[in-house]
Amino acid sequence: MSELAPLLAAIASGKAKSIYLVVGEEFLARKAAEELVDALVPKSMQGLNLTVMDAPSPADIARDLATIPMFRGSKVVWAREPEFLLPKKGRTDALSKAREAWLAGRRKDAARRVLGIAARAGWAAAQLDPAAPNAVPREAWKEELDIDLAEADMAFLADVARFCADEGIHAPEGDAGAFEELLAKGFPPGHHLVVEASNVDGRSGLYKKLVAAGQLVERKVERELRKLDIHAQVQESLASFKKRIGTQAEELLKALCGGNMRLLASELEKLALYVGERPSIELEDVKLLVLRAREDPFELANAVQARDVNAALACIEDELNRQGAHGLQLLGALAATFRRLIEDKERYARMSVSARMNYREFQDRVYPLLQDQAKQSGKKLPHAYVAFLGWQAQARFSRDELVDLLLACGECDLQLKSSADAKLTLERLLLRMRVADGPGALAQRPRR
């Protein structure tokens, strides 16, 4: 990466830092960390002088850094996603990486990740099994770590607890004293630490010490599409192919890939190979080869369900101006969303579902009823959390509001088929969601 160039040049000239802390989007952070590691340790020496550690504890890192390598030369410890640097709260999917490792057969890695998460709340391995006498209550995971545990998570924790007991794996040492002492006195000559993290607690004392003692490399990506700038990543990905890309083609690629940097790199490689001897990738190439692959392909529907009028308006503008969507196509998506919300509202009204409920309560009390209905009707039921989001969405509207919005879709259909301006017509429809928020708005409409 262009920002890495001075750091890589310094390493090549023998002026390497002892610590590199790479923070940001997962794909970009991993790529930057790989480049730093390759610069610090020749590939021919990495089998012996490089240690890759997933979710390590401070004590694990300190022990390995203090160990002399088998052969002379630089030694690097690459710490990937260390749990001790993550915020205590804020990662509702904190167990996902551990489950992935578990399913992939890397059970020790998975167990260490789970124990690292639990250690942030001061819990031991034996407390993870829900059936244990001193088990951590389900509510405590939400209160202490902001993690909502589903039934599958409870079973996973029980499996991890049994595995830790069988293998003699214990919670990582909470005392970071050895690591902090090593930071204070400095690493042995030629020893380096590369830390890779997608998220960190900036207020953590250990994080601040790492930044002060080394080099921070940020690889963050703007989540809002309108503010996202992919130009640097595009230039870097095309450099090895000696290709360039037109402005319009780059804008469309951004709209199609969003902030998914791994997908962006993959699509650029495909485009570069497709154009062959041509030096430039043009708009028509992107239209031909790149499918719409934004991380959230239902962005408009999600904005409506969240009752976020501004986001919905931005989606309409993006679809019409950048994607070339037809107004009737977008109107059909809106009508389908309003219809689905009405169906959900009627369904939950018949169940007499409480107006306030957390995910665990929904999963325990409501989802089994939905499963029974799905069996009777022969319809496919979405995942429990998807159903929960649907329940939350319908609760943001009254039935009268949804009926009015669906009827307004019929009016818009007539207008669009009468050559009305698509953008203005759809914007007027979406603004009705905002008008409905006003005091007494519904009182001015006939009851249905």
Same fold, 225-289 and 299-444: no
According to DSSP, residue 87 is labeled: -
**Tens digit of each residue's pLDDT (9 = 90 or more) over 396-414:** 899 999 999 999 999 999 9
- Residue 182 pLDDT more than 70? yes
CATH topology of domain 1-220: Rossmann fold (3.40.50)
Q: Which residue has the higher pLDDT, 429 or 380?
A: 429
Please name which of 269, 332, 275 lies closest in space to residue 300, comparing C-alpha atoms.
332
> What's the whole-model pTM score?
0.58
The per-residue pLDDT for range 215-241, each reduced to its tens digit, is: 999 998 887 777 889 998 999 899 999
Give the CATH class of 225-289. Answer: mainly alpha
Residue 437: is its pLDDT beyond 50? no
- CB-CB contact of 245 with 254 (8 Å): no
| DSSP string for residues in 184-219 | HH-PPTTEEEEEEES---TT-HHHHHHHHHSEEEEE
Report the pLDDT averaged over residues 10-30: 94
Regarding predicted confidence, which is higher, 97 or 443?
A: 97
Query: Which residues does 79 contact at the CB level (< 8 Å), separation at least 6?
Result: 53, 56, 61, 193, 194, 195, 196
pLDDT at 298: 58
Q: Lowest-pLDDT range, 259-273, 361-375, 394-408?
A: 361-375
In terms of Cβ atoms closer than 10 Å to its own Cβ (0-12, 13-18, 19+), residue 54 is buried
Look at residue 441 and tell me whether its pLDDT is greater than 60.
no
Q: Which CATH number, 3.90.580.10, 3.90.1150.10, 1.10.260.40, 1.20.272.10, labels domain 299-444?
A: 1.20.272.10
Mean per-residue pLDDT, 145-149: 80
- Give the distance from CA 85 to its chain's centroid: 18
CB 207 within 8 A of CB 85: yes
3-state SS record for 12-63: HCCCCCCEEEEEECHHHHHHHHHHHHHHHCCHHHHHHHEEEEECCCHHHHHH
Mean pLDDT of the chain: 84
Say how many C-beta atoms besides its own lie within 10 A of residue 9's C-beta. Answer: 11
Distance of CA 342 to the CA centre of its chain: 30
Q: Which one has a higher pLDDT value, 357 or 80?
A: 80
Average pLDDT of 362-385? 78
Domain ranges of the chain: 1-220, 225-289, 299-444
Which pLDDT does position 204 carry in this prediction?
82
What is the mean pLDDT of the segment spanning 93-97?
Answer: 72
Average pLDDT over residues 425-437: 80
Question: For strand 75-80 and strand 280-281, is the pairing parallel, antiparallel, or unpaired?
Answer: unpaired
DSSP letter assigned to residue 364:
I
- The arithmetic mean of pLDDT across residues 362-388, rounded, is 79
